[in-house]
Chain A
Amino acid sequence: MSIKVRIPTPLQKHTNNQAEVSVDASDVKGLIEALEKDFPGIKDRICEKDGKVRRFINIYVNEEDIRFLQRDATSLKDGDEISIIPAIAGGQDIAGGAS
């Protein structure tokens, strides 16, 4: 099944600057593995060493956060759109300053 994945700007250096890629997968776990196969190194950016999605990155199936579905066991169907969305702050790393 071909699943469309939106890649956030900070991860696009792994996807040759593509903002959207398509992979074959039947669940979220398989999707992350498929992304890693096509774009080596991307899994490390999305997941902790234990394979869990990092706590400042969310994965959405259409509009739904997988943490409130079946996490990486969430199944996917043809036509689903996946978004990987990291927390963004902006600005300089100086506490008390502004973006």
Chain B
Amino acid sequence: MNLTDAQIERYSRQLILPNIGGKGQERLLKARVLVVGAGGLGSPALLYLASAGIGKIGIVDSDKVELNNLQRQIAHSTNTVGMPKVDSAKKTLNAINPEIEIITYNLRITSANITDIIKDYDIVVDGSDNFPTRFLVNDACVLAKKPLSHGGIFRFDGQAITILPGESACYRCLFPEPPPPGLVPSCQEAGILGVVAGIIGTIQANEVLKYILGTGDLLTGRLLIFNALDSSFRQVKVPKDPNCPVCGKNPSVTKL
């Protein structure tokens, strides 16, 4: 693959980075990334991935843009309220970078369709909004051996971890089971500061770029914890759990 003059100009500020260069840019342009959820986490992740020149980006979301999304879901705008989020995001990404391919999945991701959707991608970004989907995405990625960047947000708090199935701890190694419904308030009930989503979603994009470029250290085996009120970033260790229900020695989750 030879970069065109326009590509050399577009990507010049990252092409000069020693960890990227022409070879790295070609890797990015050949990469295929799936983003589950075009919301608070997915929006910043999508903007940076498209800007960096990820060649094929899949977006899964079943919702339409609402006015109350715009405080944090920065891939959408006032004039796309009412439009499916995948189409609104595609419009924004195409305007930034018309050279990349955007595949939209205007549907709910379920145990019946997830394996078929993720198989065409190199890495998955989880920007979903609820525990059942998060555990489904984790289990599907572990079973299909797809790398996964996980991010979670709540009020002023954010968490992120990267999962390389078979090599590093998965989300169930960290939290074996979702909380029962109703015990943990949702963003709708609890509120969320838009920038928290921006910071965690951007960290997820960074993880994807490092994975594709094969540079730096991924957030594997450790959970990054961000708090917006004291501007703290901390990390705790996340070992692989031999009793993990999906990636442990005797898994109880063997299909979706």
Contacts and interface: CB of A to CB of B under 8 A. Distances in A.
Interface of A: 8-10, 19, 54-58, 60, 63-65, 67-68, 83, 85-99
Contacts of A54: 179
A93 B237 contact: no
Contacts of A56: 175-179, 184
A96 B178 CA distance: 16
A85 B225 contact: yes
Nearest to B188: A92
Contacts of B239: 65, 68
Interface in B177-214: 177-179, 181, 184-188, 190, 192, 197
B200 to A, nearest CB: 9
Contact of B177 (A55, A90, A98): A55
Interface residues of B, number: 60
Given A19-B230, A63-B236, A98-B39, A87 B178 contact: yes
19 contacts: A9-B154, A9-B157, A56-B177, A63-B235, A63-B236, A88-B153, A89-B186, A90-B41, A91-B129, A91-B188, A92-B129, A92-B187, A93-B130, A93-B181, A96-B62, A98-B40, A99-B127, A99-B187, A99-B197
Interface in B87-126: 107-110
B56 interface: no
Given A10-B184, A88-B184, 12 more contacts: A10-B154, A55-B177, A56-B184, A85-B236, A87-B178, A89-B130, A93-B129, A96-B62, A96-B107, A97-B130, A99-B153, A99-B197
Interface stretch (B6-14, B17-25, B131-139, B248-256): B131-139
Contacts of A98: 36-42, 61, 63, 73, 85, 127-129
A85 to B, nearest CB: 7
B11 to A, nearest CB: 28
A98 to B, nearest CB: 3
